[in-house]
Amino acid sequence: MVRGDKTFSVTTQDFDNPHLKRYYYSESGGSTGVGTRVATDLDKQTDRAPLRLLSEHAHGFYNIPMAAWSSILPGSGFNSMLSAAKIGHVPIKWFSPVAHEDLQPSIKYRIATWYLISVARMLGVPIPTPETVHINDAKKIAHWVASTLKRHGACRLSSYVSLAVRVGIAAGEEGLDLTGAVFTGSGEPPTPAKIRHIREVGARWVPGYFISEAGAVGYGCAHPVDENDNHFFKDGLALILAPSAIPGTDLTVDGIYLTSLYASAPKILLNFETHDYGIVEQRSCGCLFEKTGFTEHIREIRSVSKLTGEGMTLIGSDLVRILEEVLPARFGGSALDYQLAEEEDAQGFTRVYLIVDPRVKLQNEQEAVDVILAALPNGGPGSDLGRAMWTQAHTIRVKRTEPVWTNRGKLMPLHLDRAAKKTENAH
């Protein structure tokens, strides 16, 4: 940190709230060394539980059967379980896209998971045992939703956006009607192409906006104008917009910066750069959130400096090093022969394409993908979690074509055409 002639060396731990009791830690879903270790205090869960309860009543899914398809420790799945327990609405099923065997090391998280579940059950909270359902087995979740609907007429599935989309696609392929189901999720932008698969099988979609360091930033509006329309929680956070440059590009957007206000916040945040941008507005929608004072909306939320998919992220600064140094050293060529681009495929899934100039002799495309994943900084369990998710989903693909240059004659390591279009439309 530099302020005038003063320089301070800091770590993420320096911003930990010193007043928390720190019952356990989880990690943000970074696929790089920037995955943040965040303390989860039960006071925080207590403070924010009314917002979850408010959301469930606003959308009419309080007390309907619920399942979660979310990661085991060190992922954030247990946070959701505790929050649900506080309002008396615990999921009856917990599906995890990764197993302990996918994480190295896993023994302490295996012990911690079983310990927390055992203590919860001793106290009368029936937290379910995590059941591993890998990303490509979404039809198992789809059939669970369909069978639950037959028995109860309604149910809810909470997951990352792309996991929810996979369930919708699987339901369509299996010929299942999910009318009466509600899908809730976060972790990446719920674009129209993604959410279409959920609505086509009859299910409803409700977004959420969460940041590991800040917790719940907003929950979906009950009368939304788009797929990512959230009410901003101004009781616990303050928000300003400020110019943010997109690393690896020549674009600048109005970035979202947050300041933490509530005493149980996991991190002390002061104008914290979220690496996101979007539309922030006052709008009368008539839903329960507005009636309780939450009149600000955040929508069309996109990332400034992250390539995001399956709820996991890759950070621009680390990728620049890989593109300009690691790949040329391994496969030849120069920094001008490699580029990364984020696109949605025909099904709406976010893919990260490694663009390689055809002049580079690349014998095995998968080897290039493996080199990228292996070259990412080892940030601990959070990095392992991200790698496992992206490997299962085959998020990174290779495209043999010339890298895209800007109309100003620049070759940007990250080709974020979507962000450019978004910025032009916003202005």
* 218 and 334 co-located in one domain: no
The model's confidence at residue 17, banded by pLDDT at 50, 70 and 90, is confident
Residue 239 lies in a domain: no
Residue 241 lies in a domain: no
Specify the residue for token string 């890759």.
314
* 73 and 168 co-located in one domain: yes
Please determine, for residue 36, whether its predicted confidence score (pLDDT) is greater than 50: yes
Residue 262 lies in a domain: no
* 93 and 200 co-located in one domain: yes
Task: Give the CATH number of the domain where residue 392 resides.
Answer: 3.30.300
Task: Give the CATH number of the domain where residue 169 resides.
Answer: 3.40.50.980
The answer to whether the CB of 222 falls within 8 A of the CB of 59 is yes
Per residue in 191-234, pLDDT tens?
887 888 899 999 999 999 988 788 899 999 999 999 999 999 99
Average pLDDT over the chain, rounded to an integer = 82
Which candidate, 210, 208, 230, places its Cα nearest to that of 281?
230
Tell which wins on pLDDT, 177 or 391: 177
As a whole number, mean pLDDT of residues 309-322 equals 57
Res 419: pLDDT: 42
Q: Among 174, 207, 233, give the residue marking a domain's end.
A: 233
Tell which wins on pLDDT, 69 or 423: 69
Tell which wins on pLDDT, 181 or 336: 181
Tell me which DSSP letter residue 31 carries: S
Rg (CA), the chain: 21
Residue 272 lies in a domain: no
CB-neighbour burial class of residue 242 (10 A; exposed 0-12, middle 13-18, buried 19+): exposed
* 63 and 196 co-located in one domain: yes
Residue 141 lies in a domain: yes
* 180 and 74 co-located in one domain: yes
* 226 and 325 co-located in one domain: no
Quote the number of domains for the chain.
2
* 318 and 224 co-located in one domain: no
* 347 and 210 co-located in one domain: no
**For residue 134, how many other CB atoms are within 10 A of its CB?**
17
Res 425: pLDDT: 41
Lowest mean pLDDT among 137-146, 160-169, 329-338, 369-378: 369-378
Residue 403 lies in a domain: yes
Res 427: pLDDT: 33
Distance CA 67, CA 183 (A): 10
Q: Which of 89-103, 160-174, 280-294, 377-391 has the highest mean predicted lDDT (pLDDT)?
A: 280-294
* 14 and 144 co-located in one domain: yes
Residue 139 lies in a domain: yes
Q: Among 207, 233, 259, give the residue marking a domain's end.
A: 233
Tell me which DSSP letter residue 66 carries: E
Please determine, for residue 35, whether its predicted confidence score (pLDDT) is greater than 60: no
Res 133: pLDDT: 93
Laid out side by side, the sheet with 350-356 consists of 396-400, 350-356, 338-344, 414-415
The model's confidence at residue 28, banded by pLDDT at 50, 70 and 90, is low
Q: What percent of the chain has pLDDT over 70?
A: 79
Res 29: pLDDT: 47
* 206 and 73 co-located in one domain: yes
Q: Among 233, 257, 279, give the residue marking a domain's end.
A: 233
| Alpha-carbon 331 to chain mean position | 32
Please determine, for residue 148, whether its predicted confidence score (pLDDT) is greater than 80: yes
Residue 105 lies in a domain: yes
Res 170: pLDDT: 93
Lowest mean pLDDT among 28-42, 80-94, 336-350: 28-42
As a whole number, mean pLDDT of residues 290-307 equals 85
* 228 and 348 co-located in one domain: no
* 197 and 335 co-located in one domain: no
Domain boundaries, position 226? 2-233
Tell which wins on pLDDT, 381 or 268: 268
The answer to whether the CB of 306 falls within 8 A of the CB of 275 is yes
Res 42: pLDDT: 81
Q: At what angle do helices 138-152 and 161-173 cross, to 10 degrees?
A: 80
Res 416: pLDDT: 59
